[in-house]
Structure 1
Amino acid sequence: MSRFFDAIAPVRYEGPDSSNPLAFRHYDPDEIVLGKRMADHLRFAVAYWHAFAYEGGDPFGGPTFQRPWYPQDDMARARLKADVAFQMFDILGVPYFCWHDADIRPEGATFAESLRNFEAIIDYFGDKMAGRDIGLLWGTANMFSHRRWMAGASTNPDPDVFAWAAATVKTCMDATHRLGGQNYVLWGGREGYETLLNTDMARELDHMGRFLNMVVEYKHKIGFAGTILVEPKPQEPSKHQYDYDAATCIGFLRKYGLEGEVKLNLEQGHAILAGHSFEHEIAVAAAEGMLGSIDMNRNDYQSGWDTDQFPSNVPEVALTYYHILRAGGLGTGGTNFDARLRRQSLDAEDLIAAHAGAMDVCARGLKAAAAMLADGGLETALRDRYAGWDTPRAQRMLNSDLDALFQQVLAGEIDPQPRSGRQEWLENHVNRFV
């Protein structure tokens, strides 16, 4: 059993006046927000890869962290890593965690050896989950780190890699199902291209569409009741990724007949890389009924790459949860902290403080979002702005044709007078709550 976190007591809610850096000041899991427990709105999860597998490296330098379970190439250390992980879940009181297969087991010399390692750790997870109030928000397969994935997984020009990807996803779906996972995620880290000079894009997209249909078929075959999710990201590591943003993914899902089977796992940092705000991505997914789950983090706006920092901007988070609440909540999804420590943050306490602070930021954002909804000011302004479309006259316009509308305008029956969008008023309104 690890002693990594032994000096750290469980994080408890102490209220906004607390000065304890390892206490919740805003996250009270049992507080009722819009008729539901705060914990049930937020559905927090810890990302196994960033919290326990990340070694503190970046594109310009090697590892800075020293952990008792490094190097991560041995089953004994994989079990030690799991001991540490569940100790942290207990300290934070989070209801969920998430993993990639490569985060939790050492790579074997063959697929069969890797699978034996993986299944042994899944057994170990199952034992640890028994008797604990902790569940699996989602599992997924890492199909971007190993050199076999350098040209993609389902989009790889080599059909043998496609088959290896299918076998990998099958094992991860089986494990997710066995642990009672709420969702299964596919993130195409290298499903894209580095140059069009060697890329048959139409073929790759068709293969990716077929692969995702295989995933859905297998979901039904094994009776997995969770949601299948895809995660948009525009670039990095690929020059261009086929899952660029929410709208691109929705178009892809509709093209391949998957819009009724697959939803989106949206990430704040990926939205920024795509040139969007997080609330934009959530609003797009919600408008199409495809909002599934979120990865909560942030980017450094000066760095220009996916820094995966813990959230700290309450106004941004408040608008995120405002759109989530308007959409009816996260359903089987949750708030996964796909975030990692800065490479200079070396201590065990840093890992706890980062998650506790992020949970507080999300709690503040959720409460602000709920207050905005309860106030109704934004909803009223929205209804007023589009009220003209609720009239019989406007509905006749929609059911008319270009020539008839031309005749009305020409006759002077229609003479639009612009109205203020009142953006600054609405921004001031939001600032009352955040």
Structure 2
Amino acid sequence: MELLRKLEILADAAKYDASCASSGTASRNSVGGRGVGSAEGSGICHAYAPDGRCISLLKILLTNFCVYECHYCINRNSSNVPRARFTVAEVVRLTLDFYKRNYIEGLFLSSGVIRSPDYTMAQLVEVARCLRQDHDFRGYIHLKTIPDADGELLADAGRFADRLSINVELPTQQALADLAPEKDHRTIKLSMARIRERREADAEARRAAARVSNRPRGARRPPTRFAPAGQSTQMIVGADPATDADVLATTDQLYRSYRLKRVYFSAFSPIPDASVRLPAQRTSLVREHRLYQSDWLIRFYGYRHDEITAGTDDTPGNGMLDLDIDPKLAWALRNRAAFPVNLDRDDRERLLRVPGLGVKSVNRVLQLRRWQPVRLADLVAMKADVRKAMPFIICANHHPGVGEVTSQRLRARFAPPAEQLALDI
């Protein structure tokens, strides 16, 4: 099969994997300025780095042949799709050629499982090893690892790749048993634990070496860090009956237990010749978006996963997020007794609960109030969402009246028009 035809098939097959972020890696600088693909900072496939640059990764599968029969996967063993397989040398050649043409700054490589998990993982590792050692490639590499593979292969992967990821696939073990009978949450989490242990051991070894080393600065290149950009995972949402509360509980547990950098959510989309066990309709992209917003609240705003979907005494929750409004506003409307928040007096934790105020805005408010009272104009200058924040705050020139606006009216004010929501769904 011609290389371009393989690329067409295997690049298209990789589009279902959302967990291809590259944030958090350190630059692999070459000695003397040499090396191929040296790229500063971080980036995501067809997205923007923190410094504003658009970064692209070559995102492909090594092969879309697979011995597994995961019902939700278009590349499952029984699927009637065109198949292709790259050799290690072909992936290396494509990566270097694309980089030299300034199309990409790194590689995201995944694969179906062929022959055995160990064989497949060894092929993925060989691609990364060849790029790093044979071609001195300094760009970003993200490897999707195989959970059942030997621990030493995972260790080798972490020596050459910037980020490793293992897809947890579905929110619950029962769903995984029903829809992916060859996979097991326990095996997946064991591999995650191994990666975490390797990263922690590597970090401790580097700290110890720094304490005792008298090596002159710049005398030689320091040892490569183990998976410096950490690990991530992905969950399919809507393929099983799990609620948003179930998804967020699993997400929170993964962050706490394995120190993941990111958990990605992928809204279920029907595939050709699908199993009768799968839904006939695709999952709303709005639901996926609300889960990402909730994930942000857990990681950066101090929310517990269970309070994001919790109901009230008057309106018990059903475990699902409100699709009409963002989860932070939904929580505020359910907990009006916690407001208004005084921008000049209340602590950071309370300020972070105010709709319309992000982490950067809250940090600027805390700095500003040391010198002067905070006013609405200051929030405007910070580019905070003042209209959304006003019903929930007290500041120098604003004090909302008690019961001035009901929760129902606020919800109607900030919910998108029905026709816009229909487009997003």
Query: Which of the five TM-score ranges fits, normalised by the shorter chain?
Result: 0.3 to 0.5
Q: What is the TM-score with the length of structure 2 in the denominator?
A: 0.44
Larger helix proportion, structure 1 or 2? 1
What's the TM-score, normalizing by structure 1?
0.43
Structure number with higher relative contact order (C-alpha < 8 Å, ≥ 6 residues apart):
1
